[in-house]
Amino acid sequence: MADTHGVPLVTIPYVGRADNYLRAPLLLRDVAPGGVGAVDVGFYETVAADGCGLVLDGTGGDEWFRGTAYHAADLLRQGRLIAAVRRLREHASHCGSIHGLLAVAKGPVWAACPFALRRAIKRVLPARDVVPRLFRRDFARSVNLVERITEPNYDGRFSTFAAGAVYRDATCEHGAHSWHEDVRLAAAFGMEMSAPFQDRALAEFAVALPEEQRWSKGRAKRVIRNGMHDLMPPVVLGRDDKGNGSEAQFVEIRQLHEAGAFDGLQLAAAGVVDATEIEPMFRSMCDMFSRNDLHYEIQASQLWLLFCAECTWRALFGEGARPSNASRPALQGRATR
């Protein structure tokens, strides 16, 4: 891809020490580290040193254009049961999916149920414990955590479940945090961050697309593939998978665990997380990885978020948290407004 468009590639070195993950929150005072190998700050340092003033980001390409399994809910509402099942099977079997058909179908089928039926089912079924495993229950209650994380996976203001799910995916809290992190880090080095796929006009176009223009015959991003067919090399246009950092995340978590990074967590001392849950989750993750069970990715993600949160807590509230002026970079590149 880079060779096709004459773009030089630059490698950002991996840094494998827990202390290096404190750089981003120490620099910006509120942003958690995200990249494996503590490459976040190093990436923007390198880009700024190269004289770049504008950084383009692909955020929104997946969210607006890859398609959603919630189209099956629309098909069910239309009485098209076979088409709905076919759509759910395509999502479950799509490369990169770690969920089976039943797991993929649960959300869309529930959404398609009439409200009265859902209410009746809730009365019969026992209440589920939806507090994430690592959090202490008393802390979760004190911040209304359950209410904050159990919003529907679609926005009910749209005429179709598919459009509502696409909008929810593109504007969710996780995406907003990731974008905030990148914008702040770029700005710290005097650069502007821009995401062309998040342009309002393009977003309005995307959310109004018929779902068949996003997902067709088991393939995502149909409208983008068609629109870019004469601009992109076939090897890129024909690709259905994408990079998955879960294995690198697993390896890094294992190394951090061996180095004691999950021992004596300040978040546990503050009453936020339950330290007794960490080791069982780590062992379970390692066991699933050894059996090639892709569900290890879920626990790896949870442990990674815990580590990132611990880094942020230590940087902002731990001893010696106040950064010196020397920890802030001299602005490089061209500052923009």
Do 53 and 179 fall into the same domain? yes
Q: What is the pLDDT of residue 152?
A: 87
* Within-domain flag for 22: yes
Do 229 and 252 fall into the same domain? no
Q: What is the pLDDT of residue 318?
A: 77
Do 258 and 309 fall into the same domain? yes
Q: What is the pLDDT of residue 26?
A: 84
Q: What is the pLDDT of residue 16?
A: 64
* Within-domain flag for 118: no
Q: What is the pLDDT of residue 238?
A: 85
The neighbour count for residue 308, using CB atoms within 10 Å, is: 18
Do 234 and 269 fall into the same domain? no
Domain that holds residue 264: 245-317
* Within-domain flag for 167: no
Q: What is the pLDDT of residue 125?
A: 87
Structural domains of the chain, count: 2
Q: Which residue has the tokens 């080791």?
A: 279
| DSSP string of 56-112, one letter each residue | E--TTHHHHHS--TTHHHHHHHTT-HHHHHHHHHHHHHSTT--S-HHHHHHHHHHHH
This prediction has a pTM of: 0.85
Both tokens of 145, joined, read: 């955590």
* Within-domain flag for 130: no
Please name every residue paired with 135 in a beta bridge, in sequence order, or none if there are none.
273
Torsion of Cα atoms, 97 then 98 then 101 then 103, to 10°: -120
Do 234 and 251 fall into the same domain? no
Q: What is the pLDDT of residue 333?
A: 36
Give SS3 for 158: coil
Q: What is the pLDDT of residue 324?
A: 41
* Within-domain flag for 267: yes
* Within-domain flag for 52: yes
Q: What is the pLDDT of residue 321?
A: 57
* Within-domain flag for 290: yes
Do 307 and 250 fall into the same domain? yes
Per-residue pLDDT of the chain (337 residues; tens, 9 = 90+): 666 667 777 777 777 677 788 888 888 887 777 778 777 888 888 889 989 999 999 999 999 999 999 999 999 999 999 999 999 999 999 877 888 899 999 999 999 999 999 999 989 988 888 899 999 999 999 999 998 888 889 999 999 999 999 999 999 988 888 888 889 889 999 999 999 999 999 999 999 999 999 999 889 999 999 998 888 888 888 888 877 788 989 999 999 999 999 999 999 999 999 999 999 999 999 999 999 999 999 999 999 999 999 999 998 887 655 544 434 443 333 333 3
